[in-house]
Amino acid sequence: MKYDYLLVGAGLFNATFAALARKAGLRCLVIEKRDHIAGNIHTENVEGINIHKYGAHIFHTDDENCWNFVNQFATFNRYTNSPVALIDGKLFNLPFNMNTFHAIWPDVITPLQAQQRIAEQAAEMAGKTPSNLEEQAISLVGRDIYELLIKGYTEKQWGRPCSALAPDIIKRLPLRFTYDNNYFNDRFQGIPMGGYTAMVEKMFGDTDIRLSCDFLADKENLSNLAEKIVYTGTIDSYFNYCFGELEYRSLRFKTEKLDGQNIQGVAVVNHTSADTPYTRTIEHKHFEAENTTAFNTPYSFVTEEYPADWQRGDEPYYPVNNPRNSELYRKYADLAAQETNVIFGGRLGMYRYFDMDDTIIAAIQCFQQQVNK
């Protein structure tokens, strides 16, 4: 056989795997359904500006190994994510921090006052274990913030009422009692200068890649090209949906070139009102503001991000975390465990809400398990 590994999907999981395999002298062939590499972190340079084609991606991690790993393939800038939330013509800083609390409750100035105000509001949940996202949010930040900054956004994002969503997702958002608008708590953060596609290109190096090649359409022939397969597509599609479809959430993007050097003053604006159909607007040039040539152009690209239901054929973005899907995933994972020569990886293969660093860490672990076998 010509290859040690057939890597299905050219996203971050397989780019990590390929980089490690190359170093270890193993031969990989990558096949990718789309006509480009880098999966959903793909960036495309349009008139000098790197566009995050599948939504904003900000790299952040607390894991030093992971940080050192990615820094082999790109120079990261010092971008710090500080999105703002816009509702009814008013702006609030995110994540929830002293700036947010003071803007919502002008008499709140000190951390103690903020803690007291939240405790007063969270009292409606006293003695109750939160059983859904609404209850979880109110017990964490109180009803005012829930109504203003969480409810509308979350219900648009997930397409169902907060009272019907699992509590965990909201815990992704930091809550802090300092005047600090940095969205992430992690020690390391930044954007690869020159875009994610260039970084992923370096990760793959001279690995053979076939674009516009659908693995599932020619599974048998392609499987014969390598000893083992790393599959990063949706796990249910690999098994031909034999137990039924897992649910995903999808996104649609509307990107416009606008006149003006600086349109919104920040990379990410969250639109938290239920009345605005999109959740975020992204002004791409702000991700690489140190690139003054791109930043000073008299035009700018702004993308509206619309959450959408997912149907077969759409791009899947987020796994939907609920008991039905967890149980269904378990069944597929049991089948997957019987496939001795196929490894399932990444957000779609493992059906997990991975951040980029989680994906890389999982791929490093997966590779190490393979070489230790």
Give the binding site for ligand UDP (CB under 6 A). 85, 94, 149-150, 153-154, 157, 169-170, 172-173, 270, 272
Least distance in Å: CB of 4 to ligand UDP?
33
Closer to ligand UDP at the Cβ: 93 or 207?
A: 93
Closer to ligand UDP at the Cβ: 181 or 270?
A: 270
**Residue whose C-beta lies closest to ligand UDP:** 154
Q: How far apart are CA 89 and CA 99, in angstroms?
A: 17
R_g (Cα) of the chain, nearest Å: 22
Closer to ligand UDP at the Cβ: 86 or 235?
A: 86
Cis previous bond, 95, omega within 30: yes
Least distance in Å: CB of 272 to ligand UDP?
5
Q: How far apart are CA 309 and CA 83, in angstroms?
A: 25
User: Exposed, middle or buried: residue 5 (CB in 10 Å: 0-12, 13-18, 19+)?
Assistant: buried
Strand partners, 251: 307
Least distance in Å: CB of 294 to ligand UDP?
23
Q: How far apart are CA 38 and CA 203, in angstroms?
A: 10
User: How many CB atoms are closer than 10 A to CB 128?
Assistant: 10
Q: Which residue has the tokens 């921090």?
A: 97
Evaluate the CA torsion angle 163, 168, 171, 173 in order and state its sign: negative
Give CA angle at 350 (348, 354), nearest 5°. 75
To the nearest 10°, the Cα dihedral for 121, 124, 125, 126?
100
Least distance in Å: CB of 160 to ligand UDP?
11
Closer to ligand UDP at the Cβ: 91 or 123?
A: 91
Strand partners, 343: 230
Least distance in Å: CB of 259 to ligand UDP?
28
Q: How far apart are CA 153 and CA 140, in angstroms?
A: 17
Active site residues: 172, 176, 249, 280, 305, 353, 355
